Amino acid sequence: MNEILSASVFIGPFLTLAAYVLAIEIRKKLRFGLFNQLLVAIIICIAVLVLLDIDYETYNQGARHINVLLTPATVCLAVPLYTQIEKLKKNFPAILIGILSGVLTSLGTVLLMAKIFGFSQQEYITFLPKSITTAIGMSVSEELGGYVAITVTSIIVTGVFGNIICEAILKLFGIRNRIAKGIAIGTSSHAIGTTRAMEIGEVEGAMSSLSIVVSGILTVILADIFVSLF
Of 10-24, 58-72, 101-115, least confident by mean pLDDT is: 58-72
- pLDDT for the residue numbered 138: 87
CA-based nearest residue to 106, from 151, 158, 144: 158
Amino acid making up residue 159: G
Q: What was the pLDDT predicted at 219?
A: 92
Instruction: Tell me what the pLDDT averaged over the chain comes to.
Output: 84
Does the structure show a pLDDT above 90 at 113?
yes
What's the predicted TM-score (pTM) here?
Answer: 0.77
Residue 19 pLDDT > 80: yes
pLDDT top residue among 93 and 73: 93
- pLDDT at residue number 33: 63
Give the pLDDT band of residue 163 (cuts 50, 70, 90). Answer: confident
Rounded to whole angstroms, the Cα distance separating 218 from 103 reads 7
Find the mean pLDDT for residues 92-119.
92
Res 6: pLDDT: 55
Separation CA 13–CA 28 (nearest Å): 23
Query: Average of pLDDT values for 163-187?
Result: 89
15 has pLDDT over 90:
no
- H helices within the chain, ranges in order? 2-7, 11-29, 37-51, 56-63, 70-75, 78-83, 85-90, 92-117, 121-127, 134-144, 148-172, 178-200, 202-229
